[in-house]
């Protein structure tokens, strides 16, 4: 870890506001991107980010300089987003992916598929919330199934099966998007 | 690398380095929440609590009549005025050096042999903080209580055999059942 960052972190541990603002300025955009990915709206993402930063500054003493500071911050935002998700879960309508009629297809064909990040985000957004959480936690943020199961309060096998179904669903949706794009071009 | 892993890797790379600028007001909201409550507000609150406690304490002490139900003894009302003089600095952040009391004298009027009880209070009190003033006032309270305890209040012993004679006259002096009630 670079010396400048270590000094900033030490100053934050001493609760120096200027250092806290410097760390905020340095990482807030990256963390807001993470928060946006796990929430349904910008205002929810703002709430998650604010709550996460408060945790960061209050628990900074528990951060070890041997670890990645970026990774530590991202974990806090993701965990805060999960808490937010679980808090709102009881009000949400549960949808099982079987109801979405995802058709299993060989992922071999998927390798040739062209899609943009926006198309992928749109496809992920169509996933039922539980499946979307599992997919994002596992694929994008590198959580293990055991951690996902603990964090979301689900069974380990549920996490595995939801990930598998989510992949197939995304393949189907992205293939459909690609097909429509080609039709428009032609 | 399996097909699933390739797909996962492709998705992960798409989200790497993702950053979205948060709204500008979020920073102010956050640091306003992180900032500790302002010192004057906390000071005012604690001073208010001290003032209320002090006022309650002194109002309880400033009722000498009735507190000791002994008719032959009178307690000087100077206690009250001295108490007020000491309690006053609690309302201030810092106590002015003039807030000193020369001495507090408690007189026993009807007892000729009773010696006045002196409660000495520091002269020329230097500038002290409200906390010191509160400590001093509690010490003074203790001293005043001690002086009240030292007042020569004669107790009348009551024995079973004397119950019937208590109401009778003895020469020209009536002995009545003495009840000493202490408030607080």
pLDDT per residue as tens digits for the range B51-101: 888 888 888 877 655 555 554 444 555 555 555 555 555 444 444 444 444
The answer to whether residue B169 neighbours chain A at the CB level (below 8 Å) is no
Instruction: For chain B, list residues with pLDDT below 50.
Output: 71-74, 90-112, 114
Confidence of residue A124 (pLDDT cuts 50, 70, 90): very high
Confidence of residue A147 (pLDDT cuts 50, 70, 90): very high
Q: Identify the pLDDT of residue B161.
A: 52
Its ipTM equals 0.81
Does residue A49 have a pLDDT over 60?
A: yes
Residue of B17, B20, B27, B35 to mutate for A, most A C-beta atoms under 10 A: B20
Q: Identify the pLDDT of residue B122.
A: 52
| Eight-state DSSP code of residue A111 | T
Q: In this structure, which long-range contacts are made by residues A65-71, counting pairs with CB atoms below 8 Å and at least 24 apart in sequence?
A: A65/A1, A65/A6, A65/A9, A68/A1, A69/A1, A69/A5, A69/A9, A70/A27, A70/A30
Q: Identify the pLDDT of residue B173.
A: 63
In angstroms, the CA A55 to CA A51 distance is 6
Q: Identify the pLDDT of residue B151.
A: 74
Alpha helices by DSSP H, chain A:
3-13, 17-38, 42-58, 69-89, 107-110, 117-125, 129-135, 145-152, 156-185
Confidence of residue A45 (pLDDT cuts 50, 70, 90): very high
List, for residues A50-106, the tens digit of each pLDDT value.
999 999 999 999 998 888 999 999 999 999 999 999 888 766 556 666 655 545 555
Q: Identify the pLDDT of residue A30.
A: 95
Low-confidence winner among A151-160, A171-180, B96-105 (lowest mean pLDDT): B96-105
The answer to whether residue B32 neighbours chain A at the CB level (below 8 Å) is no
Q: Identify the pLDDT of residue B131.
A: 72
In angstroms, the CA B4 to CA A84 distance is 29
Collect all residues of chain A within an 8 Å Cβ-Cβ radius of residue B15. 37, 117, 140
Does residue A29 have a pLDDT over 80?
A: yes
* pTM of the predicted model as reported, rounded to 2 decimal places: 0.57
């Amino acid at each position: 870890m670079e010396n400048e960052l270590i000094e900033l972190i030490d100053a934050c541990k001493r609760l120096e506001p200027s250092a806290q603002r410097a760390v905020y300025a340095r990482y807030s955009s990256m963390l807001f991107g993470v928060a946006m990915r796990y929430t349904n709206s910008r205002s929810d993402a703002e709430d998650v980010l604010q709550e996460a930063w408060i945790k960061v500054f209050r628990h900074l003493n528990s951060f070890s300089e041997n670890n990645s500071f970026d990774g530590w911050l991202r974990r806090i935002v993701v965990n805060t987003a999960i808490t937010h998700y679980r808090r709102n879960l009881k009000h949400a309508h549960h949808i099982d992916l079987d109801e979405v009629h995802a058709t299993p297809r060989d992922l071999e064909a998927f390798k040739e598929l062209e899609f943009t990040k926006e198309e992928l985000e749109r496809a992920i957004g169509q996933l039922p919330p539980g499946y979307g959480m599992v997919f994002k936690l596992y694929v994008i943020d590198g959580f293990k199934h055991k951690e996902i199961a603990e964090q979301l309060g689900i069974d380990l096998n549920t996490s595995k099966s939801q990930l598998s179904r989510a992949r197939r669903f995304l393949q189907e949706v992205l293939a459909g998007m690609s097909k429509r794009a080609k039709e428009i071009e032609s | 690398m399996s097909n699933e892993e390739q797909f996962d890797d492709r998705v992960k790379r798409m989200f790497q380095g993702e950053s979205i600028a948060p709204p500008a007001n979020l920073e102010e909201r956050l640091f306003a929440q992180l900032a500790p409550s302002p010192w004057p507000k906390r000071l005012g609150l604690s001073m208010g609590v001290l003032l209320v406690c002090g006022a309650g304490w002194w109002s309880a002490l400033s009722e000498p009549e009735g507190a000791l139900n002994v008719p032959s003894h009178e307690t000087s009302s100077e206690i009250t005025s001295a108490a007020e003089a000491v309690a006053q600095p609690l309302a201030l952040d810092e106590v002015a050096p003039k807030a000193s009391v020369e001495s507090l004298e408690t007189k026993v009027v009807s007892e000729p042999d009773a010696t006045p009880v002196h409660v000495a209070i520091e002269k020329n009190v230097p500038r002290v903080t409200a906390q010191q003033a509160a400590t001093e006032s509690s010490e003074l309270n203790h001293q005043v209580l001690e002086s009240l305890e030292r007042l020569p209040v004669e107790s009348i012993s009551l024995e079973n055999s004397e119950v019937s004679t208590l109401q009778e006259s003895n020469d020209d002096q009536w002995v009545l059942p003495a009840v000493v009630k202490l408030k607080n």
